[in-house]
C-alpha cells in the first residue's frame, strides 16, 4: 500500500450523494477548488436505492389505483401489473446502478472526484483509502464537509444477519416479487414498500409495533392508508413486533411478540436509520464515531473549533429527506464561500446563510394509496410544544375537483392556525394526488402569510387546490 504526497484543495467533500454534489457545486461556482470523495456510487442512496427506484416502483401502482376508479378506464386496468416492465422501468430510473452519468456531471461542473473511503485525520485533513489499497492524504484550505448520509438499521435479533433480511436497499432493488413479503415497520419505508410489492403481486404482511401506521403524522393519514392497504389484500397488524427470526431453506420464519409464527419468502425491516459516521475519523476531531453530527444553522459543527468542519444532510439528523439535504447544501456552500472570501456569514432567520426550513417547515410526501403530504406541525407536535392552535378539517371528497379525479374520492385536509399570530403553522393532506398541494402549504407556512391574506389567493375550479378555500370557509363558520 502506497501513500501519495498530500494534495491540497480549497474544499473537501466526503460523500457524493445529492447533498455532497450540491455542496461541491456551490463551492466550485464560487471559485473554490473542490474535491468530492466517494466510496460507492456517485449519486448516493437517493439515486440508486431510495427516492428514484422506490417511486419508479410506486408510480404504476398508484396510477392504476386512480385509473381503476375513473369511469370508462376501469375495464382497461383490471389485469395485473406487468411486473417485468415495472422492474425494467425501475432499473432505468436507477441508471442500472451505474454512475457514469453522475460522474460526467461532476466533470462538467469542474468538480474533481476521488474514489475511496474518506476519513477525517485532523484539522482540515482527510485520508482516502482507494479501491487499489493506496492511501491519499488531502488537506483543505478552507472547509471539509461531511455528507455521508444515513443507513438502514436492523434490530438486534440473534442470528439476523444469517437470515439475509431486506432493508430499504434490497426492497427497492429486488429483481423479482417475492410470493410472501413480511414487512416490519409502520413508517414511510414500510408503507410505501407494502403498497408497491402488494401491487406487484406479493402477499404482504405489515407489522406495526404501535397502534397506527405513519405514527409521526396525523392519525387520519395512517387510517386511510391502512384502509386501502387492506382493501388491496395486505394483512396489516398492530401491536405486533418480531422477537426472533430464522431462515429454513428458502423460507423465513418469524416469531412474533404475541407468540405466533409467520412464514415468508423475504422479510423487510423498515425500523429506522442511523448516521454513516462510524468509520469516518470522527475520533480524530474530538467527536464520537457512530453519532449524529450536531450543527448550528450554518451547518458548521460547533464542537470542532475553527469553523472548518461542516455536516450536511442526513448525517446531522436535522431532517432526513433528500430535498432538505439539498437545501442545507445550498446554505453550507454559501457559508463556506463567504468565509473563504473573508466575510462573515449573513445569518438570521431568512438569511441565505442560515438553514431554518429544515426545522420549521419540513415538507414530506408518502407515495401510498392514498398519498399523504404534510408540512409543519401536527396536532400532537403542537401540543408537545405548548402551541395554541386552531385545527381546521375538511373532507376532500366534497370537492368537485376531487370527484373529477376519482368519483369515490376519499381523503381529508387539515390545517393548524396559530391563534396568536393568525398564520398557518401546519398542514396535512391525505388523498389521491395531494402531493401537488404541498408546496402551497409550505409557502403559506414559511412566508407566514396572514390567514386574512389567504382569502385573496384564489384557487382554480375544479381542482384539489380549492380545498384551501373550503378550509377558510369552514373556519369562518366556527
pLDDT band at 3 (very low <50, low <70, confident <90, very high): low
Residue 434 contacts by C-beta under 8 Å, 6 or more apart in sequence? 370, 371, 372, 373, 396, 411, 413, 464
**Count of CB atoms within 10 A of residue 401's CB?**
18
User: What average pLDDT does the structure give for the chain?
Assistant: 95
Q: What is the pLDDT of residue 360?
A: 80
pLDDT in tens, 170-190: 999 999 999 999 999 999 999
Q: What is the pLDDT of residue 350?
A: 66
Domains of the chain: 7-43+99-151+274-358 (3.50.50.60), 160-271 (3.50.50.60), 370-476 (3.30.390.30)
SS3 percent helix, strand, coil of the chain, rounded to 5, is 35, 25, 40
pLDDT the model gives residue 148: 98
- Which one, of 226, 193, 223, lies nearest residue 428 by Cα? 223
pLDDT band at 1 (very low <50, low <70, confident <90, very high): low
Note the pLDDT tens digit of each residue in 465-476.
Answer: 999 999 999 887
Q: Model's pTM, two decimal places?
A: 0.95
Instruction: Summarize pLDDT for 396-439 with one digit per residue, the tens.
Output: 999 999 999 999 999 999 999 999 999 999 999 999 999 999 99
Residue 309 dihedral angles phi and psi, to the nearest 5°: -105, 130
Whether the per-residue pLDDT at 478 is higher than 70: the answer is no
Give the CB-side neighbour count of residue 402, counting CA atoms within 13 A: 23
Q: What is the mean pLDDT of residues 267-286?
A: 97
How far apart CA 478 and CA 470 sit, in angstroms, is 13
Q: Rounded to an integer, what distance in angstroms lies between the CA atom of residue 133 and that of residue 115?
A: 11
The grid coordinates of residue 193 equal 414498500
DSSP secondary structure letter of residue 450: B
* CA trace torsion 339, 343, 349, 353 (10° rounding): -40
CA angle, 121 then 125 then 126, to 5°: 65
For residue 304, is pLDDT > 60? yes
Residue 99 · residue 18 · CB < 8 Å: no
Distance CA 305, CA 285 (A): 9
**Is residue 18 pLDDT above 80, yes or no?**
yes
Query: Cα-flanking dihedrals φ and ψ of residue 20, to 5°?
Result: -60, -40
Q: What angle do CA 343, 344, 349 make, to 5 degrees?
A: 135
Q: Is 457 left (phi over 0), alpha (psi -120 to 50) or beta?
A: beta
Examine residue 262 and say whether the peptide bond preceding it is cis (omega within 30 degrees of 0).
no
Contact (Cβ atoms closer than 8 angstroms) between residue 15 and residue 128: no
Average pLDDT over residues 111-135: 97
Q: Can you say how many angstroms the Cα of residue 133 is from the centroid of all Cα atoms in its chain?
A: 33
Amino acid at each position: 500500500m502506497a501513500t501519495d504526497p498530500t494534495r491540497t484543495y480549497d474544499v473537501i467533500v466526503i460523500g457524493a450523494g445529492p447533498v455532497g454534489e450540491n455542496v461541491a457545486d456551490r463551492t466550485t461556482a464560487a471559485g473554490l477548488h473542490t474535491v468530492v470523495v466517494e466510496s460507492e456510487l456517485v449519486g448516493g442512496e437517493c439515486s440508486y436505492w431510495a427516492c428514484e427506484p422506490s417511486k419508479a416502483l410506486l408510480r404504476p401502482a398508484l396510477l392504476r389505483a386512480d385509473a381503476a376508479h375513473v369511469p370508462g378506464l376501469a375495464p382497461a386496468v383490471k389485469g395485473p401489473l406487468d411486473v417485468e416492465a415495472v422492474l425494467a422501468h425501475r432499473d432505468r430510473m436507477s441508471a442500472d446502478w451505474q454512475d457514469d452519468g453522475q460522474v460526467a456531471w461532476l466533470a462538467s461542473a469542474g468538480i474533481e472526484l476521488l474514489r475511496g473511503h474518506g476519513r477525517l485525520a485532523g484539522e482540515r485533513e482527510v485520508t482516502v483509502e482507494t479501491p487499489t489499497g493506496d492511501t491519499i492524504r488531502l488537506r483543505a484550505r478552507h472547509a471539509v464537509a461531511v455528507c455521508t448520509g444515513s443507513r438502514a438499521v436492523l434490530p438486534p435479533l440473534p442470528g439476523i444477519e444469517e437470515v439475509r433480511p431486506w432493508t430499504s436497499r434490497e426492497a427497492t432493488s429486488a429483481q423479482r416479487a417475492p410470493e410472501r413479503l413480511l414487512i416490519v415497520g409502520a413508517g414511510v419505508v414500510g408503507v410505501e414498500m407494502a403498497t408497491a410489492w402488494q401491487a406487484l403481486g406479493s402477499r404482504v404482511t405489515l407489522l406495526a409495533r404501535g397502534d397506527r401506521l405513519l405514527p409521526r403524522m396525523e392519525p387520519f393519514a395512517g387510517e386511510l392508508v391502512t384502509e386501502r392497504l387492506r382493501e388491496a389484500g395486505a394483512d396489516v397488524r398492530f401491536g405486533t413486533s418480531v422477537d426472533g427470526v430464522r431462515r429454513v431453506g428458502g423460507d423465513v420464519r418469524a416469531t412474533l411478540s404475541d407468540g405466533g409464527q409467520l412464514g415468508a419468502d423475504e422479510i423487510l425491516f423498515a425500523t429506522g436509520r442511523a448516521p454513516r459516521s462510524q468509520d469516518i475519523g470522527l475520533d480524530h476531531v474530538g467527536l464520537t464515531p457512530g453519532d449524529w453530527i450536531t450543527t448550528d444553522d450554518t451547518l458548521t459543527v460547533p464542537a470542532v473549533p475553527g469553523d472548518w468542519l461542516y455536516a450536511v444532510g442526513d448525517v446531522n439528523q436535522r431532517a432526513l429527506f433528500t430535498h432538505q439535504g439539498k437545501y442545507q447544501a445550498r446554505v453550507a456552500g454559501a457559508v463556506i464561500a463567504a468565509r473563504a472570501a473573508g466575510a462573515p456569514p449573513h445569518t438570521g432567520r431568512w438569511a441565505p446563510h442560515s438553514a431554518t426550513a429544515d426545522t420549521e417547515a419540513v415538507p414530506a410526501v408518502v407515495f401510498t394509496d392514498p398519498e399523504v403530504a404534510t408540512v409543519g406541525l401536527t396536532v400532537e407536535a403542537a401540543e408537545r410544544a405548548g402551541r395554541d392552535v386552531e385545527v381546521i378539517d375538511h373532507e376532500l371528497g366534497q370537492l368537485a375537483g376531487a370527484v373529477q379525479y376519482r368519483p369515490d374520492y376519499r381523503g381529508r385536509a387539515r390545517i393548524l392556525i396559530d391563534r396568536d399570530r393568525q398564520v398557518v403553522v401546519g398542514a396535512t393532506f391525505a388523498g389521491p394526488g395531494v402531493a401537488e398541494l404541498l408546496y402551497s402549504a409550505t409557502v403559506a407556512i414559511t412566508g407566514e402569510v396572514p390567514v386574512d391574506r389567504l382569502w385573496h389567493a384564489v384557487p382554480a375550479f375544479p381542482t384539489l387546490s380549492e380545498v384551501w378555500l373550503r378550509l377558510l370557509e369552514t373556519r369562518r363558520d366556527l
